[in-house]
Amino acid sequence: MRIAIKDAWIITQNENRQILRGDILIEDGVIKEVGKVSSDADEEIYSHGDIVLPGLINTHTHVSMAILKGVADDVSFPDFLSKVFSIDAQRTPEDIYAGTQLGCLEMIRSGTTTFVDLYYAEDVIAKATEEMGLRAILCWAVLDEEFTTQKCRPLDNCRHFCESIDQEKSRILPGVGLQGVYVCSKETFLEAKEYADEKGLLLHFHLSETRKEVNDHRKKTGMRPSEYLDKIGFLGKNCLAAHACWLTLNEVRILAKSKTSVSTCPVSNMKLATGGVAPIPEMRKEGVNVSIGTDSSTTNNSLDMFGEMKTLSLLQKSSRWDPTVLSAQEILDFATIGGAFAIGLDRMIGSIEPSKRADIVILDGMAPNLSPIRRETLISNVVYSSSQANVKTVICDGQILMKDWEIKRIDEIAVLNRATEAARKLFSE
């Protein structure tokens, strides 16, 4: 199958951050040519100056919670956690499946082609995601047995899930998730790490999201969370830490030295008023790889990476009283190639270059909010002016998931109806 995208503005995100006006040829899921394509294709997408960019990468979410939108708004963080945990305990495979498909649908419509998930029941989430056509790293949540509602030992469940995935064939990759220092002992962290290292898997965990988490951990161990994880020998280049808000400069240096990547989640942090603003400029200065996550639909309440990019920029500038903090190009890097690097897939996705998998998003070049279209302001338009409504066509792994705003492959109405029904049932209306 050969697909040609013709006459587009192409934001390649390659090493030179080149922007081209031209064509892209995709063959059997792989980008073959970028620039001028002369050969025939089975399907041609005439872009007439639309904006093409790599599919966005959401490096922290809990996708199946998409059906829990709005159930825990405007409450304190402890109240939020107790509400969400009590709902989590009542969830069924059916509503996790329905929630995942709803979340995937929202991500397709907002230009995300890859996401990292942290939850239990990743087997159900894998099936639902595979059907929707997205790429994902699904990290089964591991925590101490005394804190979990999972049947059987969480790490055994995680192992079982990871071994059930055929990594060669699938867009779905397994990973090892850890809830955080507040519910995971040293033994749990190290056992999970040993398994992830042995199998070459991502280790994804919450880190220093709230001041309480940091203070409690200091009281318990005498160390801040990153210092502790470094001391026990947990951190490493397959680590992806979500939030990372309450960090000292020493902790930023620890993350840099250990090659731990960060997924910053500005909307979730602001909505829950967790207070600490992730020190992204210091992370960049010290060499920490940064990516962006939306977190879940209960804390955001959206999975829209365009909204997330703009909010991240505004939060960092506003909190520093400094408009020069983080350029639009750096923000787009976090959402594309930085995300790919964070999950160890930078040789496969994250930019539009020959030999990479075809994960591609096309934005409407005729939208007033993206006009005027000029090479010099394209990146700025994408980061500061675009919205998910501009996402016109989405290709993941060479498969067209949406074309001219029409969802392909799956029955969109059925996904929406199933999600509403599942939510009603869960809340017994």
CB-nearer residue toward Zn ion: 230 or 295: 295
Measure Cα distances from 324 to 17, 279, 313, 314, 333 in Å: 20, 15, 10, 11, 17
Residues numbered 177 to 216 that lie near Zn ion (CB under 5 A) are none
Q: How far is the CB of 296 from Zn ion (least distance, A)?
A: 6
**What is the smallest separation between the CB atom of 246 and Zn ion, expressed in angstroms?**
15
Q: How far is the CB of 282 from Zn ion (least distance, A)?
A: 22
Considering only the stretches 86-94, 132-140, 293-301, 364-372, report the one whose residues sit in contact with Zn ion under the rule CB under 5 A. 293-301
Total residues interacting with Zn ion, rule: CB under 5 A: 1
CB of 6 to Zn ion, least distance (A): 40
Q: Name the minimum Å distance from CB 263 to Zn ion.
A: 9
Phi, psi of 246 (to 5 degrees): -95, 75
Site residues (CB under 5 A) for Zn ion, limited to 369-388: none
Query: What's the rounded Cα separation, in Å, for the pair 226 and 362?
Result: 39
In the 8-state DSSP scheme, what is residue 72?
A: S
62 vs 357 by CB, closer to Zn ion: 62
The 296-325 site mask, x for binding Zn ion (CB under 5 A), equals: ------------------------------
Q: Kindly state the DSSP code that residue 287 receives in the 8-state scheme.
A: T
Residue with the CB atom nearest Zn ion in the bound state: 295
Per DSSP, helices labelled H in 263-360 are 266-271, 280-286, 305-320, 328-335, 337-342
Stretch that binds Zn ion, among 141-149, 155-163, 216-224, 292-300 (CB under 5 A): 292-300
Q: Which is nearer to Zn ion, 181 or 367 (CB)?
A: 181
Closest CB to Zn ion among 50 and 295? 295
If 0-12 CB within 10 Å is exposed, 13-18 middle and 19+ buried, where does residue 32 land? middle
Least Å distance between CB 62 and Zn ion? 6
Whether the bond into 154 is cis, omega within 30 of 0: no
- The one segment of 9-17, 129-137, 290-298, 403-411 that binds Zn ion by CB under 5 A: 290-298
Which helix (H) or strand (E) element contains residue 226?
A: helix 225-231
Question: Computed from CA positions of residues 173, 69, 56, 365, in that sequence, does the dihedral angle turn out positive or negative?
Answer: positive
Nearer to Zn ion, 295 or 397 (CB): 295
Closer to Zn ion by Cβ: residue 118 or 400: 118
CB of 207 to Zn ion, least distance (A): 10
Tell me the CB-side half-sphere exposure of residue 124, using CA atoms within 13 A.
18
Cα torsion 214, 203, 156, 161: sign: positive
Q: Which stretch binds Zn ion (CB under 5 A): 26-34, 83-91, 219-227, 294-302?
A: 294-302
- String of DSSP letters for 91-139: --HHHHHHHHHHHHHHHHHTTEEEEEEEES-HHHHHHHHHHHT-EEEEE
In the complex, least distance from residue 297 CB atom to Zn ion, rounded to whole angstroms: 11
φ and ψ of 169, to 5 deg: -90, -20
Of 148 and 399, CB closest to Zn ion: 148
Quote the least distance from Cβ 242 to Zn ion, whole Å: 5
| Cβ nearer to Zn ion, comparing 106 with 295 | 295
Q: Tokens standing for 25? A: 């040829």
- Reduce the DSSP state of residue 235 to 3 states and report it: coil
Stretch that binds Zn ion, among 21-29, 97-105, 291-299, 420-428 (CB under 5 A): 291-299
* Residue in 80, 134, 124, 132 with CA at minimum distance from that of residue 296: 80
Nearer to Zn ion, 52 or 178 (CB): 178
Q: Binding residues for Zn ion, per CB under 5 A?
A: 295
